[in-house]
Amino acid sequence: MTRQKIVAGNWKMNNDLSETEALLGDLKNQVIPENVTVMVAPAFTNLYSAFDSVREDAIEVVAQNMHQASNGAFTGEVSAAMLLSVGVKTVILGHSERRQYFNEGSKILSEKVNAALENNMTVIFCFGEGLEDRKSENHFEIVKQQLAGGLFHISEENWSSIVLAYEPVWAIGTGETASPEQAQEMHGYIRTLISENYNNTIAERVSILYGGSVKPGNAKEIFGKKDVDGGLIGGAALKCEDFMAIVNAFE
């Protein structure tokens, strides 16, 4: 089974309009390998300009978050329809920073997932355990709860619109990565969970990205593991050279 290989740059709250234009200008000059789907997630304010700038290129512009309601009195929020109207068809949901700083738990995330799917968007669903959970060997249980709570209510058909991103919180922005073996172990476990809750075909088809301090120096080893289909990249996505080295890190 060949799964979609994906490298997605999560720019977080970095890059204003001119920086966004400059980085995308650099990325557009690079050769994107045909077998890799490349995505970038700029801030909301720069989504349209980013979409417009790469509309002819093999770079997809995605959002970092969205609200679950279709419209209404939710000051400061952005809906699925608004994202679609500026060309954005994919949204990252459940990033650990959203969970941690904005109190997004399973209930809200399941509603956001539903809103995205109802609008025919693709979801990059993030999850992963914290350091204490890893130390107390509770990491499998946490991942199971996060998947069950936020995602396992969707229909079989909707799995074709899902990309998973396993991001152990202790590895995000810390310079500490999960070892390739730890990533493989968890990704294998995630496929088992999907197989148990749905079926083996879905489990084998879904792309599972690893995220957490992926750098040019470690990407090849991590992407070389059989159940790792790419990465969600934070810090290293802000430099064209580093990001492209990661895009090119598949065997």
Active centre residues (catalytic): 95, 167
| Cα dist from 197 to 34, 110, 121, 162, 224, whole Å | 33, 16, 22, 15, 27
Pattern 213-232, ligand PGA, x by CB under 6 A: xx-----------------x
Nearer to ligand PGA, 230 or 234 (CB): 234
To ligand PGA, the closest distance from the beta carbon of 245 in angstroms equals 13
Number of residues that bind ligand PGA (CB under 6 A): 13
Residue 101, phi then psi, degrees to nearest 5: -95, -15
Residues in the chain: 251
Give the three-class secondary structure for 250: coil
Q: What string of DSSP letters covers 208-238?
A: EEEESS--HHHHHHHHTSTT--EEEESGGGG
Instruction: Give dist(CA 247, CA 93) in Å, integer.
Output: 22
Task: Check binding of 249 to ligand PGA (CB under 6 A).
Answer: no
Closest residue to ligand PGA, judged by C-beta, is 234
212 scored as a contact of ligand PGA (CB under 6 A): yes
How far lies 145's CA from each of 70, 105, 138, 160, in Å?
27, 11, 11, 21
Residue 184 in the binding site for ligand PGA (CB under 6 A): no
Name the residue nearer to ligand PGA (CB basis): 110 or 177: 177
Which of 6, 172, 222, 228 touches ligand PGA (CB under 6 A)? 172
Please tell me whether residue 42 binds ligand PGA under the rule CB under 6 A.
Answer: no
For the bound state, the minimum distance from the C-beta of residue 56 to ligand PGA, rounded and expressed in Å, comes to 27
- From the list 45-53, 196-204, 219-227, 234-242, the region that binds ligand PGA by CB under 6 A is 234-242
Task: Report if residue 104 touches ligand PGA, rule: CB under 6 A.
Answer: no
- CB-nearer residue toward ligand PGA: 13 or 73: 13
Reduce the DSSP state of residue 73 to 3 states and report it: coil
Exposure of 23 in the CB half-sphere (CA atoms within 13 A): 27
Applying CB under 6 A, among 91, 109, 163, 233 the residue interacting with ligand PGA is 233
Residue 150 sits in the site that holds ligand PGA (CB under 6 A): no
3-state helix, strand, coil in the chain (%, to 5): 45, 15, 40
Interface contacts to ligand PGA, rule CB under 6 A: 10, 167, 172-173, 211-214, 232-236
